[in-house]
Amino acid sequence: MVLSLGRTPLANSLLTAAQLGDPEPRFPLDLARCASCGLVQITETVPPDVLFRDYLYFSSYSDTMMRHVSDLTRRLIYERQLGEHSLVVEIASNDGYLLHHYVAAGIPVVGVEPARTIAQVAEKRGVRTICEFFDEALARELAARHGSATVIHAHNVLAHVADLTGVVRGMRALLHPGGVAVIEVPYLRNLVEQCEFDTIYHEHLCYFSVATLDRLFRTHGLVVQHVERVPVHGGSVRLFVSREGERSGAVSGILAEEARQGLNDQESLDHFAERVAQVKESLTRLLGELKHAGKTIAAYGAAAKGSTLLNYTGIGGETIDFVADRSPHKQGRYMPGVHVPIVSPARLLEARPDYVLLLTWNWVEEIMAQQAEYRRGGGKFIVPIPSPRIV
């Protein structure tokens, strides 16, 4: 065991007004480390159908993410010389936020997205989408129907997967011998160094280092050829994985760094757990002092990480008046567990709270720019991670 965040509701199970009086399912949210392979993981696996069939996270509502994938797709089109005879497949393709760049370039695509409402949005924007969970059987079916994939994308999905073996074997079955799988996952190093405990929730089963990923892919006949660190989601790693080839110096270098730092060692993880308790104490103390001084407080970002932070710290309607969020799919609902209402960002200018707790701190620059008028009026943000600070 590394850390217990208690029994919490599912982080993306946003409630309607009619559901507020119903019992909310809660599950243990405990982080542990495998003494055999070093993989950091939570101990409770909630069935994927419960987590993902009715899902309200739309990637297109983040301007930063849209720029991120636009740059990446342009790069791959150029470097891999992709064209009308290529095939790009994305696992957990969401609302087509990434694949539509390939569609615009005339490159055939297939998205695999289990959330029905989100898959429908992708189809409407012209992205061919299969509403299923990706596994080896589906991969073989796709290969038989469409041919092997020149590029496979898997962004922020591998951590969500209970059957890692099935998904990685599926990647290998679908990938062209000369193709590449581009995989992005939140990086354990950032989690530990920046005390990003709020990225722990039931959808995120695993918390990867490059060493654990390298071991996973090697086990199933795939090679991590190259790795890059990218800033999205509080710090991620991007892996380029192929069926054959040599490692780059970047892979060898980051593996050596992780070994020197003891990234997967129990001692460093225990220190992380101590810092999490300190953040909880300092944040609740800061908000308590502000409320005692008569200040009004709201929050921004009805994201899963916000649900973890609010439920672990016990911050609810007695402290924050509402949570603002850009997604109209979330507005009108309520945060799990704490039942704080979710509203449009326009409410910030109407209510003019003295402080806004930034739950989606990973998009801090984007949100601060969007809320320039609120800030000019004297409004201040509280950034909780890696330690609470007012900006």
What's the pLDDT tens digit per position in 238-262?
Answer: 999 999 999 999 999 999 999 999 9
Same domain, residue pair 87 and 192: yes
Rounded Cα–Cα distance for residues 11 and 95 (Å): 20
Same domain, residue pair 239 and 147: yes
Per the CB < 8 A criterion, the answer to whether 93 and 129 are in contact is: yes
Among residues of the chain, what percentage have pLDDT more than 90?
A: 87
Kindly report each contact of residues 92-95 with a partner whose C-beta sits within 8 Å and lies 24 or more positions away, as own/partner.
92/134, 92/154, 92/155, 92/156, 92/157, 92/160, 93/122, 93/127, 93/129, 93/153, 94/57, 94/58, 94/59, 94/60, 94/118, 94/122, 95/58, 95/59, 95/60, 95/121, 95/122, 95/125
Confidence class for position 28, pLDDT limits 50, 70, 90: very high
The pLDDT value given to residue 65:
80
* Closest by Cα among 59, 252, 289, 251 to 157: 59
- 56: pLDDT strictly greater than 80: no
- 319: pLDDT strictly greater than 90: yes
Same domain, residue pair 289 and 166: no
Domain count, the chain: 2
Same domain, residue pair 226 and 372: no
Final residue of a structural domain among 232, 263, 294: 263
Same domain, residue pair 231 and 364: no
pLDDT digits (tens, 9 = 90+) for 202-243: 999 999 999 999 999 999 999 999 999 998 888 999 999 999
pLDDT digits (tens, 9 = 90+) for 182-202: 999 999 999 999 999 999 999
Q: pTM of whole model > 0.85?
A: yes
Same domain, residue pair 121 and 219: yes
Tokens standing for residue 61: 């509502």
Per the CB < 8 A criterion, the answer to whether 200 and 281 are in contact is: no
Same domain, residue pair 259 and 300: no
For residue 197, give its domain range: 44-263
The pLDDT value given to residue 63:
78
Same domain, residue pair 308 and 200: no
Confidence class for position 130, pLDDT limits 50, 70, 90: very high
Confidence class for position 53, pLDDT limits 50, 70, 90: low
Instruction: Please indicate, yes or no, if residue 141 is contained in any of the structural domains.
Output: yes
Q: The CATH number of the domain where 356 resides is what? A: 3.40.50.720
Instruction: Please indicate, yes or no, if residue 173 is contained in any of the structural domains.
Output: yes
Same domain, residue pair 284 and 339: yes
